[in-house]
Amino acid sequence: MWQFATGMFLIALQPESLRLTATYTFASGGAVLLLGPIVGDWVDRYPRITGKCNRVKVVRTAIVVQNLSVALSALAVCLTLTFQSDVEVIWGGWMMTLCQGVIILFGVIGDVTSIGRTIAVERDWIVVICNDKHSLTSMSALLRRIDLTTKLVAPVLTGQIITYGSLIIGALFISIWNLISMVFEYNLLLKLYTSFPELALKNTDGKQNDHDRKRCPLFFDNFLTVARGWKTYWAQPILLAGLALATTYMTVLGFDNITAAFAKAQGLSEAIVGLLQSIGALFGVLGTIIFPVLRKRLGLTRTGMCSFFLLLVSLVPCLVSIWAPGSPFDPSFLSRRGEINDGINYTLTDFADESVFSYELSEESYTIANNTAQQSYLSVGLLMGGIVIARTGLWMSDLSVTQLLLETPENSVRGIVNGVQNSLNQFEDLLKSLLVIVLPWRQTFGYLVFTSFAFISFANVLFACFSRRAGRTIGIGR
């Protein structure tokens, strides 16, 4: 619910552009990029730090911090929107900046700690519970199916609450829900933990390393952890596959905050955007059903090849949407905007219902009306349609690489390898956020779509190179 609604909340706090939404995504990506290996190493090392296996304590810490952070961030949104008119004038507008900073800070903390929970349960516990590769494949697909089912239900529920209630009610609901669900999440995982005694055991190799690290200052300890993590990751035979997965994150062609805010700016309601995300989740569930079947018949690397290609082909309508009727894309917008920066008056009603902006340059007046955008939803329809259909190929690609990340690394470094993978994913997501910060207008969104398609194409090339190497390496990707 929080992932879906964040874009709606932030665009309400700064309706003139996508910059605040992109700033949040950038901050989150930067934090995960820097802290991902450290969080993954923490999951690996926690048994050695405490002298015994404490897998359940790792999960408990991650769940509590994550849910509390999201609850506090949503509560901050609720209060800021409630008193928005007052907040905007206090301290000359700096109070609004402070509130936005608090919302982003707690949101980022929640994003970082969610990595620890994901690595612990979906990258560590699952390997212990499953006895062979086929059961691991089925369990990975099942976990992703559960995740996508929540992505199906949550946007519809949240969109309805926001559309027929208000953004304030939606933020308050999310805050309360996170506090309540925290108890149920932990109890369910605790029951799972007690059902499998094997989870109470873990390889404790590397005690000497931990002893040496205790003598290092914290800063250098963390620096060494990050350096060791990247060195370990770079030595993995699945490096190119991991890079291919990370490259798919450099895209606005997904149901993230930025695309949701753009769709809303194009005239779609929160309820419609939520419904589209739910339909996309259905296509994602279809991918989790197809993946185990293809893996059994084609093998893991060939299934990955098919998945990445399907993702690319499905996004072709998004590329077409740049030039379709109703598209706000204006190739000359940047140059024209540069010409008017020194003008007498400049008004951009970029996110209003009418797609019209006017400005005065010297003594001349210009008005540019984008009537097509008012009359046609074909462009946004092609964009969102392509994103929806592409969920099948996307999650099949994700499952293919995730399976490699589960099967290939050794048990003692699985956490840190997956932590680095999260960092790589977020690095690409961070690049996307930087592009949106630089080009936050609807008229330039077409550039972002084209760039995203180019990166997905490059991901296909990377995985094809991995597949070729894997064909020469016995035991990789079978």
Structure tokens at 396: 């099949």
> At residue 463, does pLDDT exceed 90?
yes
For the ranges 37-41, 43-47, 196-200, the one whose mean pLDDT is highest: 196-200
Of residues 311 and 2, more confidence is placed in 311
- Per-residue confidence (pLDDT) for residue 372, from 0 to 100: 39
Report, as an integer, the average pLDDT of 328-349.
59
> At residue 175, does pLDDT exceed 70?
yes
- Per-residue confidence (pLDDT) for residue 317, from 0 to 100: 94
- Per-residue confidence (pLDDT) for residue 356, from 0 to 100: 31
- Which among 296, 277, 309, 475 has a CA at the least distance from the CA of 396? 309
Q: How confident is the model at residue 316 (pLDDT cuts 50, 70, 90)?
A: very high
- Per-residue confidence (pLDDT) for residue 3, from 0 to 100: 79
361 φ, ψ (degrees, to nearest 5): -120, 120
- Per-residue confidence (pLDDT) for residue 306, from 0 to 100: 94
Is residue 176 within 8 A of residue 283, CB to CB? The reply is no
- Per-residue confidence (pLDDT) for residue 337, from 0 to 100: 67
Question: pLDDT by residue (tens digit) across 228-239?
Answer: 778 888 888 889
Which value, in Å, is the radius of gyration of the alpha carbons in the chain? 23
Count of Cβ atoms closer than 10 Å to residue 368 Cβ: 13
> Sheet harboring 345-348: ordered strands across?
345-348, 356-361, 364-369
> At residue 346, does pLDDT exceed 90?
no
- Which among 195, 262, 344 has a CA at the least distance from the CA of 15? 262
Question: pLDDT by residue (tens digit) across 448-460?
Answer: 999 999 999 999 9
205 φ, ψ (degrees, to nearest 5): -60, 150
- Per-residue confidence (pLDDT) for residue 66, from 0 to 100: 92
> At residue 303, does pLDDT exceed 90?
yes
Lowest mean pLDDT among 32-36, 46-50, 380-384, 413-417: 46-50
Structure letter (DSSP) for residue 198: G
- Per-residue confidence (pLDDT) for residue 75, from 0 to 100: 92
Report, as an integer, the average pLDDT of 204-209.
47
| 346: β partners | 359
State the Cα–Cα distance between residues 231 and 222, nearest whole angstrom.
14
State the Cα–Cα distance between residues 85 and 394, nearest whole angstrom.
42
> At residue 468, does pLDDT exceed 80?
yes
State the Cα–Cα distance between residues 464 and 301, nearest whole angstrom.
9
Domain 2-330+371-470 has CATH 1.20.1250.20: yes
Report, as an integer, the average pLDDT of 269-279.
82
Helix (H, G, I), strand (E, B) or coil at 163: helix
Is residue 297 within 8 A of residue 373, CB to CB? The reply is no
Structure tokens at 274: 């939520």
Question: pLDDT by residue (tens digit) across 86-137?
Answer: 777 777 767 888 888 888 899 889 888 888 888 888 777 888 888 777 788 8
Q: Where in the chain is the domain with CATH 1.20.1250.20?
A: 2-330+371-470
State the Cα–Cα distance between residues 457 and 252, nearest whole angstrom.
14
- Per-residue confidence (pLDDT) for residue 268, from 0 to 100: 83
State the Cα–Cα distance between residues 189 and 176, nearest whole angstrom.
21
Q: 168 CB contacts (<8 Å, ≥6 apart)?
A: 78, 81, 82
Is residue 174 within 8 A of residue 74, CB to CB? The reply is yes
Torsion of CA 276, 279, 281, 286, to 10 degrees: -150
Report, as an integer, the average pLDDT of 27-55.
68
> At residue 308, does pLDDT exceed 90?
yes
> At residue 143, does pLDDT exceed 90?
no
Q: How confident is the model at residue 64 (pLDDT cuts 50, 70, 90)?
A: very high
State the Cα–Cα distance between residues 316 and 22, nearest whole angstrom.
24
State the Cα–Cα distance between residues 346 and 442, nearest whole angstrom.
17
> At residue 218, does pLDDT exceed 50?
no
Percent of the chain whose pLDDT exceeds 90 = 22
Lowest mean pLDDT among 177-181, 283-287, 371-375: 371-375
Number of residues written out for the chain: 478
> At residue 434, does pLDDT exceed 70?
yes
Report, as an integer, the average pLDDT of 201-206.
55
The per-residue DSSP string of 368-418 comes to: EE-HHHHH--HHHHHHHHHHHHHHHHHHHHHHHHHHHHHHSS-GGGHHHHH
Question: pLDDT by residue (tens digit) across 254-265?
Answer: 887 778 778 877
- Which among 269, 280, 170, 244 has a CA at the least distance from the CA of 463? 244
Pairing of strands 345-348, 356-361: antiparallel
- Per-residue confidence (pLDDT) for residue 219, from 0 to 100: 46
Model-level pTM? 0.66
Angle subtended by helix axes 94-118 and 19-50, to nearest 10: 40
Percent of the chain whose pLDDT exceeds 70 = 82
Q: In whole numbers, what is the pLDDT of the chain averaged over residues?
A: 78
Report, as an integer, the average pLDDT of 347-364.
34
Question: pLDDT by residue (tens digit) across 387-431?
Answer: 999 999 999 999 999 888 888 877 777 777 877 887 888 788 888
State the Cα–Cα distance between residues 57 and 113, nearest whole angstrom.
13
Report, as an integer, the average pLDDT of 373-379.
68
> At residue 368, does pLDDT exceed 80?
no
- Per-residue confidence (pLDDT) for residue 47, from 0 to 100: 52
State the Cα–Cα distance between residues 395 and 156, nearest whole angstrom.
20
- Per-residue confidence (pLDDT) for residue 338, from 0 to 100: 57
